[in-house]
A and B are shown apart, each in its own frame.
Chain A
Amino acid sequence: MNPRNSIRGRLFLQLVGVAALLSLAFFLVVRGVAERAAEGTQDDILLASATAIADSLRSEDGQVTLDLPYSALSMLGTISDDRVFYRVVSAGDTLTGYADLPLADPAPTLGNPAFSTLVYRGDEVRAAAVVRAVGPATDSQAVIVSVAQTRLGLAAISRRITTTATGVGIGFFLLATLLSLWASHLALRPIVRMTNSVARRGPQDLRAVPSDPPEELAPLVEALNSFMARLSASLSRTEDFIAEAAHRVRTPLATVRAQAELTHRKLTKPEHKQAVREMIRAIDESSRSAGQMLDHAMVTFRADALAQDELDLAALMNEVCDRLAPTADLKDITIKRALPDAPVAFKGDGILLQAALQNILDNAIKYSSEDSTITASVTVASDLHLSFSDQGRGLDGIDISELTTRFNRGSNADDVVGSGLGLTIADEVARAHGGQLKIVPNDKGVGACVSLTLPR
């Protein structure tokens, strides 16, 4: 499946993309906030420590002195095991502490502590510095107290937060991916349902799509329904037109034929007689084509609402053979009937089946040479087979599937007049009854066997 070409794929990818962005944003925000909180905590404690030291500064005989409170340094050990440095500077001289500890830059001012991150003894340290005026108001000294701590604890906290945030982010992303998969599937279910309902339809089913579509699909369904209605109307108009045209052609043709026969009898000159016979043959052919077109229109029409008559297929076959016996006689063709004695019961549309069988037999007669035999048989096996086997020119190298297409005729039939509708009609009738039309080369040498297979 190419995801660019599938709505579900695109929807899924977009949802996953959004989830990935949200996960990343979540990760960054959580880590950012947590790290700032951790840094803030360290700054607060450093400031508290520096303030505690500054609070214990005092002046003795004009000398600044300091009684370092135990808690000032021990409090720094409460959040982490980081190394601690401090320095108390009075008038530029280091009063106590680590004399080489760099002072904060910018320097703190009275009431404004300064925080800085610097490198001391090979490690990054965070330092807080406060300044305090010590001594009598007239002669006070500014004393800077700076307390620094390494940031290993902070780094450990940061690592832990990062691990947690990463885990939660990944979990969130995976969950979102699963939900996206589900959501994209769910969102497209109406489309799938509609697709299935349309796909299940037969080729002639042009009814409106009945499902209640989601709002977004309503225009599509409406357009589809309107298109199908137009198509259906157009189709039925065409069929009507053909039927009407065929009907209108056939009736005058019958008159013309009768007149031609009368004329034929009156004529004496053989060449005139021959010409009129040709005319009659052409008229027959036209009439037959018109009949087939009528049949076809009828099949198309009736297939939509198939009648369920109780039929005897053996009798039906007999009737068809009887009806076409005169045509066969003209070419001295014998129709051999291999029919079971007992009736073969079948539920279906008698008129359609008759038309189908008639067309198949008519075809067989048309393509059989004079003085040959056509075998009509009805066999009952797992399915019902109604077959006509001829000794005609057969189907040498012809694509059988094309024969049942409308107006398509075998490539070896150029010399015979025909519309190409006969097998199409038979095929459509077979399909309408849930069966199929089979055309196979005759196993007894020449000719072909055309059978209508119907389910029992």
Chain B
Amino acid sequence: MRLAHFTTLIAGLFVAGFASAFEVEDRRLFEASPQRSVLKVISTADLDVFTPIIRAFQADNPGIAVDYTVTGTTDLMGAIHDEGAQFDLAISSAMDLQTKLVNDGFAQPYTAPANVLPDWAIWRDHLFAFTQEPAVLVVSDRFFAPGEAPRNRDELITLLRENPDRFRGRIGTYDVRTSGFGYLVATQDSRNSEAFWRLMEVMGRLDAKLYCCSGDMIRDVASGELGLAYNVLGSYAASQLQSTKGFRIVPLSDFVNVMLRTSLIPANAENVEDARTMVDFLSGLNRRADLVTASGLPGIDSTALQENPSLRPIRFGPGLLVFLDQLKRQNFLRSWESSLVQE
């Protein structure tokens, strides 16, 4: 997740002169002593989110030092796809880009132990999901009394249409042109429901604010700057809720897109054995309640999906490549801009 954590960049851990074109947001070496091997991980998950997971991994597998590099989803894609950067494991929240990496032959297969992950959480033995994170509506307590928040997209549209003055400039959503996660959930929304374009139209008329990251949206909703934010990363919102007051999470009842955070072992990985160990460790995330709490990342849990049929995990497959098509992307962004950015 590309959160607003650029300020937390620890200069001392940043390796100067990292010879690559992709933007390194953060980097840290988790040492092990005695050190047996080094696992080079490139990830889109922030350090403070992933540190407890890496520590637990090292406790289970002593001797493995973890060299953890944080970058954005697009940069991660570019680093591996175009620049040939060498990493042992790539972790990203952009399912579509990860799918493209696998499809274009930049990942290597690994036959994970059976019965740990459900079938839908693995693609081609190349891509392994380890979290399921919903895109949710976040509403401000200052705008909505308990029980008044819209329950589905139609109610949301009606609410916005009927109260234009109240919500003008008070709505937030992802700028899909810059956010990989925003683009993914927006395209999935457009597939799932015609209501999406109406919603974008309405939000555009109400001068919706565009954000790069969930964190900023939640901050503004909590402060009452925004009345509501659409398509916020639910896992992040849930973990923020523990420390921040003033907002509520509304899972919409018509459908909720569930994004899967995935890991893959790049084709040019050197430390494949430890990478596989990490894949296995991440697959079992849901059995480590302490880590789920510490990282705020909900593990893969088929039961949760069965209990709530409105949760729609985004399915792996070549379909995810469609919105990466340059013409398709241009078309989508053009439609999105004409709806939302009504200059």
Instruction: Name A residues whose Cβ lies closer than 8 Å to a Cβ of B.
Output: 65-74, 76-78, 81-85, 95-97, 121-123
Contact = CB atoms under 8 A, between A and B. Distances in A.
Nearest to A96: B327
B198 to A, nearest CB: 19
Interface string B287-328: 000000000000000000000000000011111011101111
A65 B315 CA distance: 27
A451 B223 CA distance: 134
A66 B326 CA distance: 10
B331 interface: yes
B105 A73 contact: no
A85 to B, nearest CB: 8
A121 B105 contact: yes
B327 A73 contact: no
A70 B319 contact: yes
Interface of A is mostly: mixed
A72 to B, nearest CB: 7
Given A67-B328, A121-B104, A123-B105, A81 B123 contact: yes
B318 A84 contact: yes
B193 interface: no
A85 B105 CA distance: 11
B331 A74 contact: no
B103 interface: yes
8 contacts: A65-B327, A65-B331, A67-B328, A74-B317, A76-B317, A81-B317, A83-B105, A121-B105
B321 A73 contact: yes
Contacts of B102: 83
B79 to A, nearest CB: 19
B103 A84 contact: yes
B28 interface: no
B191 A70 contact: yes
Contacts of A67: 327-328, 331
A81 B124 contact: yes
B229 to A, nearest CB: 26
A81 B102 CA distance: 11
Contact of B325 (A71, A78, A97): A97
A73 B319 contact: yes
B328 A68 contact: yes
Contacts of A65: 327, 331
Contacts of A69: 322
B331 to A, nearest CB: 5
Contacts of A81: 123-125, 317
Contacts of A78: 317
Given A121-B105, A122-B105, A77 B326 contact: no
A123 B104 CA distance: 11
A122 B267 CA distance: 13
A77 B318 contact: yes
A72 B323 CA distance: 12
A298 to B, nearest CB: 93
A121 B81 CA distance: 13
A71 B322 CA distance: 9
Given A81-B123, A83-B103, A121-B105, A68 B322 contact: yes
B262 to A, nearest CB: 14
A76 B105 CA distance: 17
Given A67-B331, A68-B328, A73 B123 contact: no
B322 A66 contact: no
Closest 5 CB pairs of A and B: A74-B319, A77-B317, A84-B318, A81-B124, A73-B318
A70 B105 CA distance: 21
Contacts of B327: 65-68, 95-96
Contacts of A73: 317-319, 321-322
A96 B327 CA distance: 7
Contacts of B325: 66, 68, 96-97
Contacts of B316: 77
B105 A72 contact: no
Contacts of B319: 70-71, 73-74, 77
Contacts of A68: 322, 325, 327-328
A454 B106 CA distance: 100
A139 B328 CA distance: 24
A70 B331 CA distance: 13
A391 to B, nearest CB: 99
Interface string B317-343: 111011101111001000000000000
B14 to A, nearest CB: 35
Nearest to B328: A68
Contact of B321 (A71, A84, A123): A84
B103 A72 contact: no
B279 to A, nearest CB: 17
A95 B321 CA distance: 16
Interface in B96-114: 102-105
Contacts of A122: 105
B215 to A, nearest CB: 30
A280 B325 CA distance: 136
A73 B315 CA distance: 13
A96 B326 contact: yes
Contacts of A66: 325, 327-328
Contacts of A83: 102-105, 124, 318
B318 to A, nearest CB: 4
Contacts of A84: 103, 318, 321
A96 B324 CA distance: 10
Contacts of B326: 96
Nearest to B124: A81
Contacts of B328: 66-68, 96
Instruction: Indicate the member of B103, B104, B125 with the most A CB atoms within 10 Å.
Output: B103
A95 B331 CA distance: 14
Given A83-B103, A121-B105, A123-B105, A72 B317 contact: no
Instruction: Indicate the member of A69, A74, A81, A85 with the most B CB atoms within 10 Å.
Output: A81
Given A68-B327, A73-B322, 20 more contacts: A65-B327, A67-B327, A67-B331, A68-B322, A68-B325, A68-B328, A69-B322, A70-B191, A72-B322, A76-B317, A77-B317, A77-B318, A81-B123, A81-B317, A82-B124, A83-B318, A95-B327, A96-B325, A121-B104, A122-B105
Contacts of B103: 83-85
